[in-house]
Amino acid sequence: MDVRSRHHVTISGRADGRVVVLSHGFGCDQNLWRLVVPALERDFTVVRFDHVGSGRSDLSAWNEQQYSTLDGYATDVLDLCRELALGPVVFVGHSVSAMMGVLAAAREPEAFAGLVLLAPSPCFIDDPATGYRGGFSAADIEELLESLDANYLGWSGAMAPVIMGNPERPELGEELTNSFCRTDPTIARSFARVTFLSDNRDDLTRVAVPTLVAQCSRDAIAPPEVGAFVQKQIAGSELITLNATGHCPQLSAPEETAAAITAFAGAPR
């Protein structure tokens, strides 16, 4: 199966515009970008896709060995860029996808005009020895993964609203819960371990393309210290703090998110 079919690739917007690739995070699919796409389509060629194992991707292409680390997902990103042959792209990676973009850009910088790292985290686990704050203790993450393994649907119902934030807008948490619940539990368990146990702090210094780090003002998953750390490690990168709260600003604050992507992607390179 070709790359477009494997990842259920969707292309829209201006054929003569700079290419913006939108990459979703854990438990999600390309549908979670739908609210920012109309604004981006006015200026850019917009590419959306589903990671293998998510959304309407070809589930038969998933295997645990290939996708046991973020490198497997980064390889898919590079394959996608080559297959589409659209020239250097601005890659927008949400949450764990931000680190996929980091790994891909470190391997083949010529494929990227820039990176937008939206609510990124290179490591979710605190590292007291270095003073790094990821937001969770090792025990927190172990407990989270044990709960997910024991009852994935129950875990989804409990965690999705926490990840989404915005308790005054419960429909957002419900949408993320439904997205989690649509994911095959076996694949979700594997992807969760990759997401929450990866440590890509050392990879940040390998990025040599223009980079925007966009964090949310309040985020239970990626606290402000994480965004500051990422910006400090990537030479020449820019850090902005969105007014948006929660971990999914493309849903909770789509206009602000689209404006930030547009300002960065539309800047001269």
Exactly one of 95, 97, 237, 252 is catalytic; which is it? 95
CA-based nearest residue to 262, from 22, 39, 34: 39
What digits encode the pLDDT tens for the residues 77-126?
999 999 998 889 999 999 999 999 999 999 999 999 999 999 999 999 99
What pLDDT does residue 1 have? 67
Q: Is 202 a catalytic residue?
A: no
Distance CA 269, CA 171 (A): 39
Considering the candidates 7, 24, 51, 247, report the single residue annotated as catalytic. 247
Is 71 an active-site residue? Answer: no
**DSSP, residue by residue, 134-146:** -SB-HHHHHHHHH
pLDDT at 269 over 70: no
Catalytic-residue membership of 179: no
- The residues near 140 (Cβ < 8 Å, ≥ 6 apart) are none
Alpha helices in the chain (DSSP H): 3-6, 37-41, 70-84, 96-107, 138-150, 152-164, 170-182, 185-197, 224-233, 249-252, 254-265
Q: Which of 76, 126, 203, 219 is the catalytic position?
A: 219
What pLDDT band is residue 268 in, cutting at 50, 70 and 90? confident
